[in-house]
Amino acid sequence: MLNMMFLCGQAQTETADWQQQRHDLQVGIGTPFVAGLYVGNYLHYAGYGPLWWIPSNQAGYWLGRDVYRGTSFISPALSVSYRYQVARWCKVGVTLSYAGTYAAVFDRVTNEKVGRVDDHLISIMPTVQFLWLHRKYVELYSGVSIGYSFSTGPYYDEMLQKNIVYTEHYCGFQVTGIGVKAGKKWYGFAELGIGVQGCLSAGFGYRFNNNSNN
Amino acid sequence: MKKYIFVILTIILISGCTREERGQLTQRGHEICSAWNTAVDAILTDDVNPAFVLNAWIISDEAERYIIEDRYFPQYKIRQVDATTYGLYKGAEPYSTINTHGTHITDEGAVWTVTNHFGYSYAIFPIVEEDRTVSITNLGNDQWAIALDSAGFPQSVTHWTLSLERFTNHCSIFAENFTLSGDGAFAFPVDSYWEMQYGSTDEPVMQHYTLERPMQNDANDGNKLKWEDGKLSLTVSHSGYESVDVVMEVLAYFHYGITYRGVTEVWDRIGDTVYYE
């Protein structure tokens, strides 16, 4: 708390003119853990999940084709964000993020490839950021985003024995505990938090003003 | 700075990789046989064996009764309900009721009826809706017919013959070498997830089975089923789906050969791996 007060005090005495670069566009890449939970939820019902695995041991599934996922890949959580600085200590904006899982599905007995299980989680979220420190080259901040997410993609249905395309809807979120930006117009950033953009994320961005003189 | 960026990106990329192992090829067959074995184990352990132990308790003196209660019914109290009926109580709740019909189970022609009031609560053994009733009929020559009467799911039946090699201890059947032969069927309702995806149905998934070679219990401390030999052949069916055949051969204790879709593998355990929600 003392630290925050100290940093806020410093922010108050900051002389940089934040109004010169109120627009902020950034792209980021993050760990997909939470995104994996979202898409994994659906796979759980299908009997084979990417993050945990529960055998499809209900009697109804005994008559289905016994399948398993091959090597799968969960993409990093990719995001594009735009923010507008409304005050020295506050930015608002919107974030678009994507994370996906991709895997082939194989018959367990014959090892024949029978289908796919892919999930694409897309989120669009209004965002607000609170700056603790706003200096010429460094910013420290926290933030929160809450919005709409949906996942879609094919999965192999072992009872119907064919690929089905599904869509699920969720509440998307991202809470950034602490973030740091370094740079002036072009900057790099790293964040620790939790949500669809990742627990650990990093990337780069560009600050600009709609006034061409800046 | 570049080093930190490299570390962060490496963590991000590694965290995205997952892999599911193919596992044993007869996994589905193992699940099916496990469900069968769990059902059989439930009937023998919770219904049939208590009847034999109760028979020993009835003919014992008071000192021996304490020993039997401590060893085989440590969690239950035995109460005589009426002239021919006894109850196993857990607290004030009757766990099962056993009607001797005024006979000893060792009398040729004797028919005992065991009603398990918690049979339905076996999540893994959903073949009855309420009470599960098993009739035990003495056929003579240390053989008993075991018949399941499942009012809720009349498709579930057993036509078993339990043959004791020699009934020396006159108490737990698990303490004796015995064989179980016959055939039958078990009905397993589909679960709610399944119905959500493929439609609501009252039709259970059926296991029709035959013991091609009698299942043989190896005498043990008297508290558990211990298959040592036997061969089971079963067919799983449900309308609208192609039926599945599975064969399980008990090669030795802890060695179960399971054949599923033409592939045979040996498993080191069976049962207790299937649950029902």
Helical axes B62-72 vs B49-58, angle rounded to 10°? 160
CA distances in angstroms from B227 to A65, B27, B40, B168, B274, listed in the order given: 29, 20, 11, 20, 18
Instruction: Give the ipTM of the model, two decimals please.
Output: 0.83
Bigger pLDDT: B170 vs A40 = B170
Report how many Cβ contacts below 8 Å link chain A to chain B: 122
Q: Compare B5 and A98 and report the one with higher pLDDT.
A: A98
What Å distances lie between residue B251 and B37, B163, B224, B268, CA to CA?
15, 20, 18, 10
Comparing alpha-carbon positions, the chain B residue that sits nearest to A199 is B12
Residue A156's CATH number: 2.40.160.20
Contact check, Cβ <8 Å, B242/A32? no
Query: Is the distance from CB of A197 to CB of A95 less than 8 angstroms?
Result: yes
In the predicted structure, residue B128 carries a pLDDT above the cut 80: no
Q: Is residue A156 part of a domain?
A: yes
Task: Pick from A52, A62, A192 the residue to mutate for testing the B interface (most B CBs within 10 Å).
Answer: A62
Is residue A10 in a domain? no
Q: If chain A, 214 residues long, is cut into consecutive pieces of 10 residues, what is the mean pLDDT of each piece?
A: 46 57 91 66 39 52 88 85 93 94 90 91 95 90 95 90 90 94 92 90 89 52
Question: Which pLDDT score, from 0 to 100, does residue B12 have?
Answer: 62
Domain count for chain A, please give it: 1
Global pTM reads 0.78
Q: Is residue A74 part of a domain?
A: yes
Tell whether A11 is within 8 A of chain B (Cβ).
Answer: no
C-alpha torsion sign, points B160, B161, B165, B169: positive
State the pLDDT at residue B14: 61
- A16 in a structural domain: no
**Is residue A170 classed exposed, middle or buried when 0-12, 13-18 and 19+ CB atoms within 10 A define those classes?**
middle
Q: How confident is the model at residue B152 (pLDDT cuts 50, 70, 90)?
A: low
Q: Which of residues 24-63 of A touch B (CB under 8 A)?
A: 29-33, 36, 45, 48, 50-51, 53, 55, 57-63
A106 in any annotated domain: yes
Q: What is the pLDDT of residues B176-194, one digit of tens each?
A: 899 999 999 988 878 777 8
* A91 occurs within a structural domain: yes
> Taking 70 as the threshold, does the pLDDT of residue B33 lie above it?
yes
Q: Is the CB of A194 inside 8 Å of chain B's CB atoms?
A: no
Residue A74: count of CB within 10 angstroms of its CB: 26
d(CA A161, CA A173): 35
Look at phi and psi of residue A185 and say left if phi exceeds 0, alpha if psi is from -120 to 50, else beta.
alpha
pLDDT, tens digit, 9 for 90 and up, residues B85-94: 999 998 888 8
Q: Indicate the pLDDT class of residue B120, thresholds 50, 70 and 90.
A: low
What's the length of chain B? 277
Confidence of residue B1 (pLDDT cuts 50, 70, 90): low
- Closest CB from A50, A60, A68 relative to B23: A68
Over residues B7-30, the pLDDT tens digits come to 766 766 665 566 667 888 999 999
Q: What CA–CA distance (Å, rounded) separates B245 from B267? A: 18
Domains of chain B, residue spans: 19-267
Closest CA–CA distance from residue A165 to any residue of chain B (Å): 13
Q: Is residue A93 part of a domain?
A: yes
Q: Which domain holds residue A187?
A: 23-52+63-208
Query: Is residue A13 one of the residues assigned to a domain?
Result: no
| Banded model confidence at residue B272, pLDDT cuts 50, 70, 90 | low
In the block, which residue shows the tokens 């064989």?
B179
